[in-house]
């Protein structure tokens, strides 16, 4: 088994267009959620989201690229450029042949579906642009990253709703750990903030109309976000040999399935994923200083997640910190674990624990240290990142300071 480290990180999300800006915003407890702005927003009952602002695809991508890149691909490529530049790797020869890209997304090119359905159903058009299919397909973003950076190894897209990115990163981690690939580009992206994307979520009646307040007794639902988080996972000795700047180590992971309900979370499924990740990383519960929670701000998730953490950690659950950065950037659905991994890196590398903002009232069912409202300086050596998806599919990553 080889050790796996992260040597590049990139992002774009409602908090910033780079890792540095995003971490600064997290450390300041800034909220990136605001009024949604897109066509037909007036017909939605949900009017807020963590929308990426000031991102102009025009000028960044040429005409041909624009006709092929859905917004989720645009986000992915922007984040991948930052991550791969930071890693300093130029993919060629054997490295290129063996390295690949595994990304997560739940919806893929949602706005491409939306725009073209509108065109044929509402506007009555009978012709769509020839690239609708290659633009909307869920693997489009991974494909364009592979083409842009000459990644010729195993590449595919994972779709497990809100756990997509964590499942993708777990898969990439496994590939590097087993020696199958020297490096993998991984993470995920989502762009569902368009009329159809938000309308679909409205139907489920789990959305908040005013704010995402994870773990707070007065929480009233989730808030959607959008964006991407992309990382370069690299074999430790390979990274050391070339003098790479190592952000942290990916120490282990676990996946589990609740096998119970299509939307309701299960304490048992979550607990098995958390304890599984600790076992896989050969860590004791007491080693964990911080958990980046799934923390969606729904009644069901937050209490179930806290109960699972209490089960796994026992008395240590009261000593560790657990926060949900969804309160700041919203729920990026299939991209969420990737952006949240940044809070884990910030905790390990900078000793800054991102807060759960919007926290107003203690909930006895979420009686853990949720780092309310203000970031905290703390030295932690091991962190976990939770993702628990609709469909009962869970993926937890364990990360360690190097």
Partner 1 sequence: MSVTDKIIKIIAEQAVLETSDVTMESTLEDLGIDSLGLVESIFAIEEEFDITVPFNANEPTNSDFDISSISKIIEGVERLLKEQAV
Chain residues binding partner 1 by CB under 8 A are 63, 67, 127, 129-131
Q: How far is the CB of 66 from partner 1 (least distance, A)?
A: 12
Nearer to partner 1, 55 or 131 (CB): 131
Question: CA torsion sign, 18 to 339 to 280 to 174?
Answer: negative
Q: How far is the CB of 129 from partner 1 (least distance, A)?
A: 6
Nearer to partner 1, 116 or 373 (CB): 116
Strands (E), 330-375: 352-353
d(CA 265, CA 163): 12
| Token output for 64 | 């041909």
Q: How far is the CB of 116 from partner 1 (least distance, A)?
A: 13
| Token output for 46 | 């949900």
For 244, residues 6+ apart whose C-beta sits below 8 A from its C-beta are 5, 7, 87, 88, 234
Q: How far is the CB of 123 from partner 1 (least distance, A)?
A: 13
Q: How far is the CB of 130 from partner 1 (least distance, A)?
A: 4
Q: Is 144 a catalytic residue?
A: no
Nearer to partner 1, 69 or 236 (CB): 69
**Residue 366: DSSP 8-state:** G
| Token output for 220 | 């009233």
| Partner residues linked to 385 by β-bridges | 292, 397
For 270, residues 6+ apart whose C-beta sits below 8 A from its C-beta are 256, 304, 305, 308, 386, 388, 394
261: left (phi over 0), alpha (psi -120 to 50) or beta: beta
Nearer to partner 1, 59 or 315 (CB): 59
Among 162, 212, 248, 306, the active-site one is 162
Q: How far is the CB of 119 from partner 1 (least distance, A)?
A: 11
| Partner residues linked to 321 by β-bridges | 290, 369
- Cα separations (Å) of 146 from 68, 157, 211? 15, 12, 37
Q: Is 248 a catalytic residue?
A: no
Nearer to partner 1, 132 or 217 (CB): 132
Among 31, 294, 306, 366, the active-site one is 294
| Token output for 69 | 């890149």
Among 17, 144, 329, 331, the active-site one is 331
Residues 250, 184, 102: CA angle, nearest 5 degrees:
100
Nearer to partner 1, 124 or 130 (CB): 130
Q: Among 181, 150, 118, 109, which residue's Cα sits nearest to residue 334? A: 109
Active site residues per annotation:
162, 294, 331
């Amino acid at each position: 088994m080889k050790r796996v480290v992260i040597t590049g990180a990139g992002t774009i999300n409602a908090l910033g267009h780079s890792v540095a800006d995003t971490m600064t915003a997290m450390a300041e407890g800034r909220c990136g959620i605001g009024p949604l702005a897109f066509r037909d927003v007036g017909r939605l009952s949900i009017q807020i989201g963590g929308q990426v602002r000031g991102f102009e695809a025009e000028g960044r991508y040429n005409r041909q690229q624009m006709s092929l890149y859905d917004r989720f691909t645009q986000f992915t490529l922007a984040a991948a450029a930052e991550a791969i530049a930071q890693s300093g790797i130029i993919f060629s020869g054997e490295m290129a042949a063996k390295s690949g890209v595994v990304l997560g997304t739940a919806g893929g090119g949602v706005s491409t579906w939306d725009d073209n359905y509108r065109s044929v159903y509402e506007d009555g058009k009978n012709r769509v642009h020839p690239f609708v299919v290659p633009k909307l397909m869920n693997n489009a973003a991974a494909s364009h990253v592979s083409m842009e950076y000459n990644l010729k190894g195993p590449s595919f897209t994972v779709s497990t709703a809100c756990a997509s990115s964590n499942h993708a990163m777990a898969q990439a981690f496994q590939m590097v750990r087993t020696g199958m690939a020297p490096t993998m580009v991984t993470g995920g992206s989502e762009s569902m903030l368009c009329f159809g994307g938000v309308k679909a979520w409205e139907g489920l009646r789990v959305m908040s109309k005013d704010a995402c307040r994870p773990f707070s007794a007065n929480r009233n639902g989730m808030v959607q976000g959008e964006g991407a988080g992309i990382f370069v996972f690299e074999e430790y000795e390979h990274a050391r040999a070339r003098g790479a700047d190592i952000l942290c180590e990916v120490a282990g992971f676990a996946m589990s399935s609740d096998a119970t309900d299509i939307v309701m979370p299960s304490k048992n499924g979550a607990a098995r994923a958390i304890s599984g990740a600790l076992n896989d990383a050969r860590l004791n519960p007491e080693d964990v200083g911080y958990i980046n929670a799934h923390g969606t701000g729904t009644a069901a998730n937050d209490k179930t997640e806290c109960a699972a953490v209490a089960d796994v950690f026992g008395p240590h659950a009261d000593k560790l910190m657990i926060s949900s950065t969804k309160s700041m950037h919203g729920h990026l659905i299939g991209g969420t674990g990737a952006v949240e991994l940044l809070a884990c890196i910030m905790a390990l590398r900078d000793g800054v624990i991102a807060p759960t903002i919007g926290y107003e009232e203690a909930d006895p069912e979420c009686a853990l240290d949720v780092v309310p409202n203000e970031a905290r300086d703390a030295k932690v050596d091991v962190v976990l990142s939770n993702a628990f998806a609709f469909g009962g599919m869970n993926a937890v990553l364990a990360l360690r300071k190097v």
